[in-house]
Structure 1
Amino acid sequence: MAGTRWWFPACRTWPNSHTFWRNQRVTVTGGAGFLGSFVVEKLRERGAAHIFIPRRQDYDLVQRDAVLALLHDARPDLIIHLAARVGGIGANLTHQAEYFYENLMMGTQLLHEAYVAGVPKFVAVGTICGYPKFAPIPFREEDLWNGYPGQACATWQTTCG
């Protein structure tokens, strides 16, 4: 169909279709968190029956071995990566290097090992905090690199996205 953009060309169905989600094995890192629990709820509403929500005590995604174990245990068709080390403004300012490292390692290792394992789809979510403090509103993607991030806690988000 000329001019039509399909999200998932191989199956020719839109992601909100119950047919699409019914047989997908979806892993949602951070799926028990603030944003993640909402995403999991919406996936279930759309018919997703196989949702894997790894917990930090079982899979410390900073560690490569834990990432490999997660991929082995979940066998995902799709990963939605929402997990992050956060702690509020005070903690983020006090532990910038630690949070930067842990979030960088989680995102980088999970993306790389998912690629190596042949996971077909990977979605990573950023934050509005990555935009410069004085970016025009409404935000546009091309404004992301027009200055230093507005909050000190956002440095890792601009890097890892």
Structure 2
Amino acid sequence: MNKAAKIYVAGHRGMVGSAIVRKLKQEGYSNLVYKTSSELDLRNQSAVNTFFESEKPEIVFLAAAKVGGIVANNTYRADFLYDNLLIASNIIKAAHDFKSEKLLFLGSSCIYPKLAPQPLKEEYLLSGYLEPTNEPYAIAKIAGIKLCEEYRNQYNCNFISAMPTNLYGPNDNYDPQNSHVLPALIRKFHEAKLNGSKSVTLWGTGSPKREFLHVDDLAEACLFLMDNYNDSQFLNVGVGEDLSILELAELIKDIVGFEGEIVHDTSKPDGTPRKLMDVTRINNLGWKAKISLQEGIKSVYEEFTSKYSA
């Protein structure tokens, strides 16, 4: 990317978008443009078109999405499908119509079938049934991938897609009802420690295995792909290692310093049994994750306590 290029980061206030903005600024990119959701409703095609016509961004990072954990995904199913379909289709079409040079669409590992072989290779997309609890979100993300592919096929647009694994990091969502598992556990253990509780309840059996990528590593991968990748095949972005939810809980328990026990609420769903990304393709291009899970959780716990302990 040219340092002077006009770059639009959609979703710049979210965990992923803010990490991309931080990385761009660190690397000396200063011609950045973004709008808050109150300033620009990305579900409104006319508003998105007006923005693109006015700003004419050369580079687009599509990190905007309606996101949440298992409960949110399963409760607001229509909203997750509708909003994410509109966001992706409006921005991708506007990037074509107003001649953006390159676009990166960010999806999610939930695009893969629930029972796909592990680790998850890119070619497993659409090879089986999705996990029911987050199927609407997954379908919207699959649609985004296919839009990028077909705008490339039909119009020769340089639109690429990356599928990150489970993310955590600065600006994460710690809401007890709508957050993902890692920040939810940080909050649970922290509050239990403060309250002197004797136990923390873990949803499900704790047996599902998950992979976790620090969002700063993802941001580095996004810039790497914008500089080095121009093919139609979407790429997985992850660390290539996973652990069980129970192991994650025990790690967070140790970092937080909670001395009680972990109990299980097996009435809650486990979700997909395992989601480990095959990151061979992006590793072979020259990018690998750098931040260890223990190091990353320690840093986000420090951020959490500085913001939420008042």
TM-score exceeds 0.5: yes
1:28 pairs with 2:12: no
1:72 pairs with 2:53: yes
Q: Is the 8 A contact 2:9 2:32 kept in 1?
A: yes
Identify, as 1 or 2, the structure richer in strand.
2
| Correspondence for 1:61 | 42
Following the alignment from structure 1 to structure 2, what is the Cα–Cα distance between the partners of residues 103 and 127? 12
Q: TM-score, normalised by structure 2?
A: 0.43
Q: Is the 8 A contact 1:26 1:76 kept in 2?
A: yes
| Correspondence for 1:149 | 130
- 1:49-105: per-residue Cα shift (whole Å, max 9, x none)? 111122110110111121023213432111110101123322221221222111111
Judging changes above 3 Å, is the alpha-carbon distance between structure 1 residues 154 and 78 closer, same or farther for their aligned structure 2 residues?
same
Alignment of 1:45-124 (within 5 A): 45-124=26-105
Following the alignment from structure 2 to structure 1, what is the Cα–Cα distance between the partners of residues 24 and 105? 16
Q: Kindly report the root-mean-square deviation, in angstroms, between the aligned alpha carbons of the 2 structures.
A: 1.6
Structure of higher CA gyration radius: 2
Q: Is the 8 A contact 1:132 1:144 kept in 2?
A: yes
Q: Is the 8 A contact 1:149 1:158 kept in 2?
A: no
Q: Is the 8 A contact 2:48 2:90 kept in 1?
A: yes
Q: Is the 8 A contact 1:28 1:40 kept in 2?
A: yes
Higher mean alpha-carbon deviation, 136-145 vs 52-61, is at 136-145
Following the alignment from structure 1 to structure 2, what is the Cα–Cα distance between the partners of residues 119 and 135? 35
Paired residues in the alignment total 142
Q: Is the 8 A contact 1:59 1:69 kept in 2?
A: no
Q: Is the 8 A contact 2:105 2:144 kept in 1?
A: no
Q: Is the 8 A contact 2:58 2:101 kept in 1?
A: yes
Q: Secondary structure at the match of 1:24?
A: coil
- 1:25-56: per-residue Cα shift (whole Å, max 9, x none)? 10010111111111111111222111112211
Extract unaligned runs of 5+ from structure 1: 1-14
1:127 pairs with 2:111: no
Q: TM-score, normalised by structure 1?
A: 0.80
Following the alignment from structure 1 to structure 2, what is the Cα–Cα distance between the partners of residues 111 and 132? 25
1:159 pairs with 2:168: no
Extract unaligned runs of 5+ from structure 2: 146-310
Following the alignment from structure 1 to structure 2, what is the Cα–Cα distance between the partners of residues 77 and 63? 21
Following the alignment from structure 2 to structure 1, what is the Cα–Cα distance between the partners of residues 35 and 120? 32
Higher mean alpha-carbon deviation, 144-153 vs 25-34, is at 144-153
